[in-house]
Each structure stands twice: as C-alpha cells, then as structure tokens.
Amino acid sequence: MTVTSGKSEILKNRLVELARDLILIPSTRDRPDEIERCMEFVVNHAEAESVEVRRFAEEGSPSAVVLPAAIERPDVMLLAHIDVVARPEGTEYRSSVRDGRIYGPGSGDMKGELAILLALFRDFHERRPGVSLGLAITSDEEHGGNHGTRFLFEKAGFRCGVAILPDSGTIHDIAVEEKGILHLRLMAHGPSGHASRPWLVENPMERIIAAVARVQNHFASLQRGDDHWHPTCAVTQIYTENRVPNRIPSHAQAVLDIRFPPPYSGREILEIVAQSADGIEREIIVVAEPTHVAPDPLYLAATEEITGVAPRLIREHGGSDARYICQFGIPVIMTRPLVGNLHAENEWIDIASMETLYRIYERYLEKKLTRP
C-alpha cells in the first residue's frame, strides 16, 4: 500500500463512520428531540478552541452557526441541514455499507455530505486556527428552509464571501441556475345550491376548474425547447368541504405549484395567473425567486485539478436553500457526491465520490483562504 492510498483509506473510513453515526439519529420533523440530539452531535464535532458557536431556535427549528472567534463574515461558509424526510412507519434508521456505497435514510440528503463538511471544518481549524471558515447547520430544509437558512441570512443577518452547499448538482455538474417557486391557492365562494337547479347559482367548484384550465393553457403557451427550461404549472390540490352528491358547494379551492426560470420574477408569474384567473381569490403560500450564480473560477480550477476533468455548468429544476443566500449577491457552490433514491427506500451515497468531493473542497479552500 502506498502512502497516498493509506491516507485515502483513513479519510474514507472517517467519512463513512461519521456519516453512519449521523444516519443512526432519526432527525425527522416529527421527532424534535432527535433533531436536538443530532444538532448536539454536530456542534460537539465542530467545536474547537478557536471557534465560537451561536445557537438559534426560530419557531422551534434549531440552527447553529460556528465561526472563528472575532470573525463576523467568514470568507467561506459551509452549509448543511440535519433534517431528513420521514420514512414509512417501521423503517429502521440504520445504515449498511455495500458495493462502495452507504445505504440508509438521509445518507444522500444530506448526512453523507454533512460528514464531509464536518471533517473538513475540523481539519482546517486544527491545522490553521482562526482560518476564515464558518459552518451553518439548519433543521428545516425539507420544509422550506424559512426557519433555517432564510432566518440565518434574512433575520439574523449572517453573511459570507462564498457559500458551499452540497445539496444539489454532482461533482462534475455544478448547478448555476435554479427555478423559482410559487405555491398559490385559488379560492372561489358563492351561495350553495341544489344540484337539480344549477342555473340558479354560480358553482364555485366549476369556477375553480375553469380557472385552473385557463392558467394551464397559459403556461402551456410558455413552453420552449426540450429541456423544460420554461415556467411550468402543476395542480397539486383541489378541495371542497362538500360531502353531499346533490349539493353545489359554497366554497372550492385549488393549489398550484409553479416553477419558473430566470429572468421571470415571482411578480411576473403572479400577473400571468391573475390574467387567467381573473375574479378568483388568490393567496400566496410560498414565493421564491429563481437563482442565478456565477461560479468561483477557483472552484472550477480545483475540481479540474483533482478529477482531471473540467466541470459542466448545469440548471436545476428544483429549488434549494441557495435562493436565500444568492439574494444577497453571495455566490453559492452547489455540487455533491453521487447519490440515489433520495427520500425513498434504499437511499445511498457513493463513498469514493465523497472522498473526491472532500479533496476538491480542500484544494479550493487552500487556494481561497490565504490567511492565516
């Protein structure tokens, strides 16, 4: 065994052990005690003499920011969430290692990635105490990130030079654009009536169905090309309180999930819906602007040096917590190891690519963090 491969084995074992320890804690939203326990584990791991820990609990969602003493705005901030999507009852929160992968709930989203960040954070602060590198851990990403990343940047006012968020993309595909999101509720009301005399009342259910069809038609006209990089609209809920077959309901509603790329803005998308659903009451549930980030050339160079291949810049249809950071002009680096079956049975993360990503981050930070 050569010296290099010996070092490589030690690092891989360390990352695997740490990821598996994290997977063992079932930190799902319905288990706040386990979320606390996982946060405790992570903070203990990140604590060092030269850093300070700040803890928050916005609306019951704990988060923590670990910064070098006397540095308010680190050059680079590492970000991760500890929450995992709950699995069907009876699922065991355990992991197994086979075929070069770690299998287990949350392995790919994102406890394996969190293990990489924790190991990296510790290594840098041990080797270079006071280095301008921060770590932010949140616990509500799977439920929108409002009380986690959004809170830390919008309300608590944290800033950094560059953010690293391994929750999207791959090692060779760096996500540089993400679609915006609009979750919108459409509502119609009217006097209820008897279904034998439909001409007597304006049926709220039929008004909602017709409005949804008009909105869908409008979005269909915005389609461009085969890569679906255009606004899309999915109807995700249709609801009425009516349980009687022969009664015309007095209330009906539908929920739309709309995704839109730059340069569309949330306001423009709302106007499109308003034109098609004129006369229908509208309530915004969530709105988030699309993100566009220019990747750090130093990061692209670090990736090529470690892997021998220049990375590609890609677009993502899903939205991540990056949007809460990008809005302040902070570049966000979004890459991650090979992962699969996220949020589902047999979720996995590839161990060799965990090591590769660690090495890329390490090389990048060595270039980026010149002091101390």
> Which stretches of the chain bind Zn ion, using CB under 5 A?
109-110, 167
User: How many CB atoms neighbour CB 224 within 10 A?
Assistant: 10
Q: Which is nearer to Zn ion, 145 or 290 (CB)?
A: 145
Amino acid, single-letter form, for residue 19: A
Burial class (CB in 10 A: 0-12, 13-18, 19+), 217: exposed
Q: Which is nearer to Zn ion, 120 or 233 (CB)?
A: 120
Longest Cα pair distance anywhere in the chain, in angstroms?
A: 86
Burial class (CB in 10 A: 0-12, 13-18, 19+), 344: exposed
Is residue 97 classed as helix, strand or coil in its secondary structure?
A: strand
The dihedral region occupied by 264, where left means phi > 0, alpha psi between -120 and 50, and beta the remainder, is: beta
How far apart are CB 175 and Zn ion at their closest, in Å? 13
Q: Which is nearer to Zn ion, 58 or 109 (CB)?
A: 109
How far apart are CB 141 and Zn ion at their closest, in Å? 5
How far apart are CB 361 and Zn ion at their closest, in Å? 17
b vs e for 260-296, b when ≥16 Cβ sit within 10 Å of the residue's Cβ? Answer: bbeebebeebbebbeebbeebeeeeeebbbbbebebb
| Concatenated DSSP letters of 257-326 | EEEE-TT--HHHHHHHHHHHTTTSEEEEEEEE--EE-PPPHHHHHHHHHHHSSPPEEEEESS--THHHHH
How far apart are CB 360 and Zn ion at their closest, in Å? 19
How far apart are CB 109 and Zn ion at their closest, in Å? 4
Q: Which is nearer to Zn ion, 131 or 338 (CB)?
A: 338
How far apart are CB 110 and Zn ion at their closest, in Å? 5
How far apart are CB 321 and Zn ion at their closest, in Å? 8
The dihedral region occupied by 130, where left means phi > 0, alpha psi between -120 and 50, and beta the remainder, is: left
User: How many CB atoms neighbour CB 205 within 10 A?
Assistant: 20
Q: Which is nearer to Zn ion, 203 or 291 (CB)?
A: 291
| Concatenated DSSP letters of 157-205 | ----SEEE--SSS-SSEEEEEE-EEEEEEEEEE---EETT-GGGS--HH
How far apart are CB 81 and Zn ion at their closest, in Å? 6
Q: Which is nearer to Zn ion, 167 or 296 (CB)?
A: 167
How far apart are CB 89 and Zn ion at their closest, in Å? 22
Order of strands, sheet of 291-292, starting from the edge strand that comes earlier in the sequence: 291-292, 173-178, 312-316
Q: Which is nearer to Zn ion, 64 or 269 (CB)?
A: 64
User: How many CB atoms neighbour CB 5 within 10 A?
Assistant: 9
Residue 286's nearest CA partner among 176, 117, 144, 178 is 144
Q: Which is nearer to Zn ion, 109 or 289 (CB)?
A: 109
Is residue 340 classed as helix, strand or coil in its secondary structure?
A: strand
Q: Distance between CA atoms of 269 and 5, rounded to whole angstroms?
A: 53
Q: Which is nearer to Zn ion, 140 or 167 (CB)?
A: 167
How far apart are CB 18 and Zn ion at their closest, in Å? 17
